[in-house]
């Protein structure tokens, strides 16, 4: 077929797909017109009208056969057949509501619980931070312990050349008082370069850059829940624990802090936060008795490997130990760097692996049982429909067409079960994630002064 002819037939083919009723009506009109013309020619030759009509039909070779050949010539007949098979499958499922409901329920439960548990796995072990170039974000730790003294953090930040930035964070349980109402909240007391190191924009306002500025940034969810997404929230005052802060920004909706899956609701400057605890101010720069300790995050410079950055940090760490011989022996363990995936703390990730593995085994068995149950239901239904399929085959339906209809019917059943499973998984995630977060991560940092 020449290209120009192929292009000429595109509108006809599209119309045959999207307006197949009109196309069939036009085909019927053409067949009728052709028969009438042929009949008139035979009548003009002296034949009786009935005989002329019969000869015209014989010459055509069968009206329905010619119509099928015309449809096949459009090369879209398979689309019409597919649509018909889909409609037939929907009618069959609707005609057996008990079977359909039971099969969809089995699939919904199996897929839903697996979706929910995989979401937990994604949160805790797989997901990169929702920040700029997340594959360059690392966390510092010693023997799997992510707690670093603030004094060491300052030295690493000022001396290291392997990082574009090093930031400190202190996740803590807190409170948030808004309009004389106090709510439990997760907070982070962070260094002034936190947003720059993470590469974080804001939905409203700005991030703070001074650790001595009594200001705060709210999470997007806290802004939505406590302030009804009021764009005039900037400049309002909120209280966290015993201190008041002026709201200067709202974080982007995709960023919920570094204490996954607990969602941080307020970020405050670290040094301002320590003012409410005299011991925290006194020991913040004390290497012999450091308290509170912080989590340290670093953004690698371009073309710097994490092993190279770790070697640089350990060289700096060795200098610090020689300059400060009174530091604890625990601080002499070499530093390690890891790309942040899921929960930042290595201790948290190691602790969750057995728990999540057990959950996966359990929900995997649930999914297997669901699949076996649905398979048995389909087998029983197939036996019940054996006579129907035999009759349809005897009437001329091909094996390929029958198989396609059965596969499409099963596919529709799977889609219904998948949709229900995704809805169930989303609902269980909303219900269980906060509790899972409290159970698994409530004591990750170990730095809350009230503990």
Instruction: Tell me if 237 is assigned to some domain.
Output: yes
The whole model's pTM is what? 0.69
What does the pLDDT look like over 173-186, one tens digit per residue?
Answer: 888 998 888 898 99
Cα gap 431→120, rounded to integer Å: 12
Are 119 and 17 in the same domain? no
128: which DSSP letter? B
Identify the CA nearest to 241 among candidates 17, 450, 31. 450
Are 230 and 331 in the same domain? yes
What pLDDT, on a 0 to 100 scale, did the predictor assign at position 62? 62
**3-state SS, residue 261:** coil
CB 157 within 8 A of CB 270: no
Are 198 and 119 in the same domain? no
What pLDDT, on a 0 to 100 scale, did the predictor assign at position 398? 79
Dihedral over Cα of 115, 120, 126, 132: its sign: positive
What pLDDT, on a 0 to 100 scale, did the predictor assign at position 395? 78
CB 187 within 8 A of CB 174: yes
Count of positions (residues) in the chain? 451
Are 146 and 218 in the same domain? yes
Are 330 and 419 in the same domain? no
Instruction: Tell me if 373 is assigned to some domain.
Output: yes
Residues in the chain with pLDDT values less than 50: 1-8, 18, 438, 440-451
Are 27 and 159 in the same domain? no
Are 359 and 271 in the same domain? no
Are 313 and 387 in the same domain? no
Tokens of 100: 């359909």
What pLDDT, on a 0 to 100 scale, did the predictor assign at position 8? 45
Cα gap 431→3, rounded to integer Å: 58
Are 317 and 213 in the same domain? yes
What pLDDT, on a 0 to 100 scale, did the predictor assign at position 390? 87
Are 136 and 255 in the same domain? yes
Are 18 and 59 in the same domain? yes
Tokens of 140: 């510092």
Q: How many domains does the chain have?
A: 3
Instruction: Tell me if 82 is assigned to some domain.
Output: no
What pLDDT, on a 0 to 100 scale, did the predictor assign at position 443? 41
Identify the CA nearest to 410 among candidates 366, 374, 373. 374
Among residues 294, 311, 340, which one ends one of the domains? 340
What does the pLDDT look like over 349-406, one tens digit per residue?
Answer: 777 778 878 888 888 898 899 889 998 988 888 888 888 888 888 877 778 888 888 8
What pLDDT, on a 0 to 100 scale, did the predictor assign at position 450? 44
What pLDDT, on a 0 to 100 scale, did the predictor assign at position 22? 63
Instruction: Tell me if 193 is assigned to some domain.
Output: yes
Cα gap 77→70, rounded to integer Å: 10
Domain that holds residue 199: 131-340
Cα gap 109→102, rounded to integer Å: 11
């Amino acid at each position: 077929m020449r290209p120009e002819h192929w292009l000429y037939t595109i509108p006809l083919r599209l119309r045959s797909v999207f307006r197949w009723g009109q196309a069939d009506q036009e085909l019927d009109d053409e067949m009728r017109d052709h028969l009438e013309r042929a009949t008139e020619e035979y009548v003009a030759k002296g034949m009786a009208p009935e005989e002329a009509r019969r000869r015209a039909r014989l010459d055509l070779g069968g009206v329905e056969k010619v119509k099928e050949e015309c449809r096949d010539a459009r090369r879209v007949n398979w689309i019409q057949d597919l649509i018909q098979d889909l409609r037939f499958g929907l009618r069959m499922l609707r005609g057996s509501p008990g079977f359909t409901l039971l099969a969809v329920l089995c699939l919904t439960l199996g897929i839903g619980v697996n979706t929910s548990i995989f979401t937990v796995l994604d949160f805790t072990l797989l997901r990169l931070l929702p920040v700029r170039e997340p594959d360059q974000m690392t966390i510092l730790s010693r023997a799997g312990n992510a707690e670093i003294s603030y004094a060491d953090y300052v030295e690493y930040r000022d001396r290291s050349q392997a990082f574009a930035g090093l930031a400190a964070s202190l996740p803590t349980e807190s409170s948030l008082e808004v309009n004389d109402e106090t709510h439990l909240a997760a907070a982070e007391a962070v260094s002034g370069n936190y947003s720059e190191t993470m590469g974080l924009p804001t939905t409203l306002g700005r991030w703070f850059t001074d650790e001595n500025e009594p200001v705060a940034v709210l999470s997007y969810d806290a802004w939505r829940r406590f302030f009804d997404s009021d764009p005039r929230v900037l400049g309002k005052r909120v209280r966290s624990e015993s201190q008041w802060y002026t709201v200067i920004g709202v974080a982007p909706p995709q960023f919920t802090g570094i204490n996954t899956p607990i969602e941080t609701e307020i970020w405050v400057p670290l040094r301002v936060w320590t003012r409410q605890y005299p011991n925290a101010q006194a020991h913040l720069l004390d290497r012999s008795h450091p308290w509170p300790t912080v989590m340290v995050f670093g953004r690698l410079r371009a073309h710097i490997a994490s092993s190279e950055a770790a070697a640089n940090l350990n060289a700096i760490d060795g200098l610090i130990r020689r300059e400060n011989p009174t530091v604890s022996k625990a601080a002499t363990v070499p530093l390690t760097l890891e790309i942040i995936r899921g929960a930042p703390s290595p201790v948290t990730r190691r602790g969750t692996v057995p728990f999540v593995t057990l959950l996966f085994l359990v929900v995997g068995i649930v999914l297997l049982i669901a699949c076996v149950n649905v398979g048995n239901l389909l087998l029983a239904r197939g036996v019940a429909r054996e006579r129907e399929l035999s009759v349809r085959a005897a009437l001329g339906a091909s094996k390929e067409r029958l198989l396609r209809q059965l596969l499409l019917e099963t596919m529709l059943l799977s889609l219904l079960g998948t949709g229900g499973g995704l809805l169930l998984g989303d609902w269980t995630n909303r219900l269980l994630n906060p509790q899972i977060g409290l159970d698994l991560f409530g004591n990750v940092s170990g730095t809350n002064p009230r503990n």
